[in-house]
Amino acid sequence: MATLTVWKFNSAEGAEEALTKLAHLQKERIIEIKDAATVSWAEGKKKPKTKQAINLVGLGALDGAFWGLLFGLIFFCPIFGIAVGATTGALGGSMRDYGIDDNFINDVKGKVTEGTSALFLFTGDVTLDKVKESLGGITADLIQSNLSNEEEAKLREHFSLEA
């Protein structure tokens, strides 16, 4: 089963830096990244820049439509208006299969703001202690996950993050 986690970084470059390090860990089989995408919101910009990590995960990854729909629901809905909002609302129902609901969307929307970035990860097997050791110095906040409360608490503990 894939685990979806969303990590917030306090700089517009943080998510990309973390993903680069995770890519090296994937080559060492310390983490299995099934898919990933980043959102970076530079200071002074009206909206964030999104990027799917296609080269990192290759074939078998989620298609761009998934990330496009997710990021549209989180960051761009007010721009589209009521008609498109109703359509995306219907499409958004399918996101619940991934543990994505209105609470998830609103939580991410409220925390990923100008001057920050976020890393959206679908992962399989992870060796947490080795990931933590390799990411030393990178601080991130776990915004959302489809983990159980116990699994999420353990993940927060490993990365010394606030609950």
Q: What is the DSSP string of 72-116?
A: IIIIIHHHH-HHHHHHHHHHHGGGGGGT--HHHHHHHHHHS-TT-
Q: Would the pLDDT of 90 be above 60?
A: no
Residue 145 has pLDDT above 50, yes or no: yes
User: Mean pLDDT in the chain?
Assistant: 74
pLDDT (0 to 100) of residue 35 = 83
pLDDT bracket for residue 163 (50, 70, 90): very low
As a whole number, mean pLDDT of residues 131-153 equals 76
pLDDT at 95 over 70: no
pLDDT at position 4 over 70: yes
pLDDT higher at 2 or 81: 2
- This prediction has a pTM of 0.73
Res. 87: pLDDT tops 70:
no
